[in-house]
Amino acid sequence: MAGGAAGNGRVVLGTGRLLLRPWRVGEGAVQREMWMERDPRVPPHRRIDSAGHPTVAELEETIRAVEPSSVGLLAVERKVAGDAIGCCGLVGSGRGVREPQLAFEFLRRSWGQGYATEASWAVLDWARSSGHEQLWASVWDWNTASGRVLAKVGFTEVDREETTYGTNLVATRPL
């Protein structure tokens, strides 16, 4: 894994096949495609609503407004094709702890090719080199593919949270 902070304070990471970098405004359509492909079991606030929101323009505005940070979802670009196929990065834990969460999401057409695992390893390496001691992750119990990715990169289930939308598995990984 190569990478770290770019000259402008933004994180850019690289692997053999992937470049993890800040989203570009013109990639709002990629983000919207991910929103449209989400499983119907995903909570409604994370899916396209009945009025069609978020729109590509709204997602582009969100990309435009993002400030450089060490926490956030990076676009995952295939180096050879030069196309964004998903995202991976660190997000706030929301669990009242210091350590952030590993998160990832990919377009369906890129599933089953090891991209989530490869991108996750890059983020784990970066998180370790940035001084984090532990990461969290959570996944719906029905999302077995994402659960397998978390297991491959060393996460261990520590809790199950029952929610209105189903069971959320909570995992940690020491760095």
Task: List Cα–Cα distances, 55 to 49, 50, 51, 74, in angstroms.
Answer: 10, 12, 9, 20
Structural domain boundaries, residue 127? 2-174
Average pLDDT across the chain, whole number: 92
Place of tokens 């598995």: 169
What interhelical angle do 115-129 and 144-152 show, nearest 10?
Answer: 50
pLDDT tens per residue, range 117-169: 999 999 999 999 999 999 999 999 999 999 999 999 999 999 999 999 999 99
**What pLDDT is stored for residue 83 in this prediction?**
97
CATH number at residue 85: 3.40.630.30
- Please tell me the distance from the alpha carbon of residue 1 to that of residue 38, in angstroms, as a whole number: 29
Mean pLDDT of 67-78: 84
**What pLDDT is stored for residue 127 in this prediction?**
95
**What pLDDT is stored for residue 170 in this prediction?**
95
Q: What is the tally of structural domains in the chain?
A: 1
Mean pLDDT of 54-70: 89
pTM: 0.91
pLDDT tens per residue, range 9-24: 678 999 999 999 999 9
